């Protein structure tokens, strides 16, 4: 991709509600969208629990935005992130956003950004993040899963076993519904890419939430699907 074709991407980080350990894998994912030229972290960095962000912001060129807790129960961080995001939107110089947070308060912001046709990737904890925020994002990716995938503490086989254990009935149903909606040949096979695209349009589905790096690896691990490789394409079929 030529440099003049690179998209300008902004990553806004709610430091109060996310882990600095996820920065490196998050930036790797964001590279799919373009060049992350805007990297900002928001929070009250005077707090002891945010002390680790000091070295992280310097290492990754993240601009810290200090937000003091002016009033108990009110979150100045959310307001500052939202205002900056809308400013960037109306400047017209940003092609996509990454929002690192598990806070449902950002759901209206994400919805507004997407209404202007911008891609918005959300990064947070699946267990802590409300469904509304996850569904609003173009893709919502579990930070904990990214951290585990980037870790060297587990062997490839251990990672594969852990990933397979995360496959549940809800995921199988989502992919099965997408397969039914896709164009199928006379043998019932649909192109894997089309199935994945339909699943992604129906939800914030992303294979990395289940510990897999590629869609084909996920389908290979699901017993209810059969994978068939044809020349340069991959086809899948729901078995049961």
Q: Are the C-beta atoms of 9 and 34 separated by less than 8 Å?
A: yes
Backbone torsions φ then ψ of 157, nearest 5 degrees: -70, -40
Q: Which residues of the chain have pLDDT under 70?
A: 1-6, 70-74, 151-160, 162-163
Half-sphere exposure of 81 toward its Cβ, with a 13 Å CA cutoff?
Answer: 32
Looking at the DSSP assignment, which residues form a beta bridge with residue 8? Answer: 35
Q: Are residues 95 and 202 in the same domain?
A: no
DSSP 8-state symbol, 6: P
Look at residue 2 in the predicted model and tell me its pLDDT.
43
Look at residue 55 in the predicted model and tell me its pLDDT.
87
Instruction: State whether the Cα torsion 139-142-146-147 is positive or negative.
Output: positive
Look at residue 153 in the predicted model and tell me its pLDDT.
57
Look at residue 71 in the predicted model and tell me its pLDDT.
58
CATH of the domain at 130: 3.40.50.1010
Q: Are residues 205 and 119 in the same domain?
A: no
Look at residue 161 in the predicted model and tell me its pLDDT.
72
DSSP 8-state symbol, 7: P
CATH of the domain at 189: 3.30.420.610
Q: Are residues 59 and 130 in the same domain?
A: yes
Q: Are residues 169 and 221 in the same domain?
A: yes
pTM of the model: 0.81
Q: Are residues 120 and 160 in the same domain?
A: no
Each residue of 28-41: pLDDT tens digit?
A: 999 989 999 999 99
SS3 sequence of 190-228: EEHHHHHHHHHHHCCCCHHHHCCCCHHHHHHHCCCEEEE
Q: Are the C-beta atoms of 164 and 40 separated by less than 8 Å?
A: no
Q: Are residues 24 and 105 in the same domain?
A: yes
Q: Are residues 21 and 129 in the same domain?
A: yes
Q: Are residues 16 and 134 in the same domain?
A: yes
DSSP 8-state symbol, 68: -
DSSP 8-state symbol, 104: G
Domain end (from 150, 184, 214): 150
Q: Are residues 87 and 27 in the same domain?
A: yes
Domain end (from 150, 184, 213): 150
Q: Are residues 29 and 140 in the same domain?
A: yes
Domain interval for residue 228? 156-238
* Total tally of structural domains belonging to the chain: 2
Look at residue 14 in the predicted model and tell me its pLDDT.
94
Domain end (from 122, 150, 178): 150
Look at residue 112 in the predicted model and tell me its pLDDT.
96
**E strand or H helix at 136, and its extent?**
helix 131-136
Q: Are residues 182 and 71 in the same domain?
A: no
């Amino acid at each position: 991709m030529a440099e003049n074709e690179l998209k300008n991407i902004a990553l806004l980080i709610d430091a109060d509600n996310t882990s600095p350990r996820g920065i490196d894998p998050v930036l790797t994912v964001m590279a799919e969208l373009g060049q992350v030229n805007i990297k900002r972290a928001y929070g009250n960095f005077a707090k002891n629990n945010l002390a680790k962000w000091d070295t992280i912001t310097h290492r990754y060129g993240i601009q810290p935005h200090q937000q003091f807790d002016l009033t108990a129960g009110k979150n100045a961080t959310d307001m500052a992130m939202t205002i900056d995001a809308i400013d960037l939107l109306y400047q017209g110089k940003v092609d996509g956003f990454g929002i690192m947070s598990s806070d449902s308060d950002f759901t209206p912001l994400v919805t507004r950004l997407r209404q202007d046709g911008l891609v918005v990737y959300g990064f947070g904890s699946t267990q802590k993040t409300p469904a509304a925020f996850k569904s609003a994002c173009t893709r919502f990716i579990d930070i904990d899963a990214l951290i585990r995938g980037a870790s060297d503490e587990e062997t490839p086989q251990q990672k594969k076993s852990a990933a397979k254990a995360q496959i549940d009935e809800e995921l199988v149903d989502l992919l099965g519904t997408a397969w039914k909606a896709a164009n199928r040949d006379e043998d019932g096979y649909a192109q894997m890419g089309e199935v994945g695209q339909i699943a992604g349009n129906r939800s914030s589905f992303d294979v990395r939430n289940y510990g897999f790096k590629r869609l084909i690896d996920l389908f290979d691990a699901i017993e209810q699907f059969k994978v068939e490789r044809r020349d340069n394409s991959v086809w899948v079929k729901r078995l049961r």
